[in-house]
Amino acid sequence: MSAGGESGTGRIEPRLAAEFPGLELRWLTLGVRPGPSTPALRRRLHSLSDRYTGGRVVAMRAQPIAHAYRAFYRQVGLDPDTTRVPSEALALERLKLGGFPSRDAIGDALQIALIETGVPVWALDASTVERQTLGVRVARSGDELASGPGALPVAEGRLVVADSQRLHGVLFGPPAEAHLPSRATESVLVYTVGVDGVPVIHLEEALYQCAEALAA
């Protein structure tokens, strides 16, 4: 994993760890900068698109990893048939568009990791993250996604990905736009979230797939 750097396990707020055994956050820093996709990434996405037929997408929810995420969604009050788990959402997008769309190098690597493992991965500008305190907690009164004029309030009680300094996103939602990799980014932090029924090795494999795609 030549593009990989520091890695770690996130903090899970104690009451969440007690209520949701298996909830885990893993992260990895990558010495890469945002940029356009490459021919190799686009070819890989095209090849992966060929694996996803309508029948496979329909059967996906019964597969162990997708089933584990669906069960967790129900535990936290989300309807997985309305708010799709990431692997199902991406598969349905593939059916709608006829293939997995190429976006940019980091976006394509995140897609590849999700397609290959069923485990979602998100990317942040590493400079926005206090890595030692990154984890999952319950949103408090007054919490906002990002800061300044464009800050968005987060409902108290929602599960969020945050560090001691800032809130990066609602759990399983897109990160705050201000924290995404940009032209000024010098390194990227990718993270993934596991739940009960998703082996840790799959989390590590998702991060590896992302790093490998960006190092190619």
Render pLDDT for 39-52 as a digit per residue (tens, 0 to 9): 999 999 999 888 77
Task: Walk along the chain (216 residues) and give the pLDDT tens digit of each residue.
Answer: 335 689 999 999 999 999 999 999 999 999 999 999 999 999 999 998 887 766 666 667 678 999 999 999 999 999 999 999 999 999 888 888 888 889 999 999 999 999 999 999 999 999 999 999 999 999 999 999 876 667 889 999 999 999 999 999 999 999 999 999 999 999 999 999 999 999 999 999 999 999 999 987
Say how far apart CA 3 and CA 189 lie, in whole Å. Answer: 11
- The 10s digit of each residue's pLDDT in 149-174 is 678 899 999 999 999 999 999 999 99
Beta strands per DSSP E along the chain: 4-9, 11-12, 24-30, 121-125, 135-138, 144-145, 152-153, 159-162, 167-170, 188-194
The CATH number of the domain covering residues in 4-215: 3.50.40
Instruction: Give the neighbor-by-neighbor strand order of the sheet with 4-9.
Output: 4-9, 24-30, 188-194, 121-125
Amino acid letter for position 51 = R
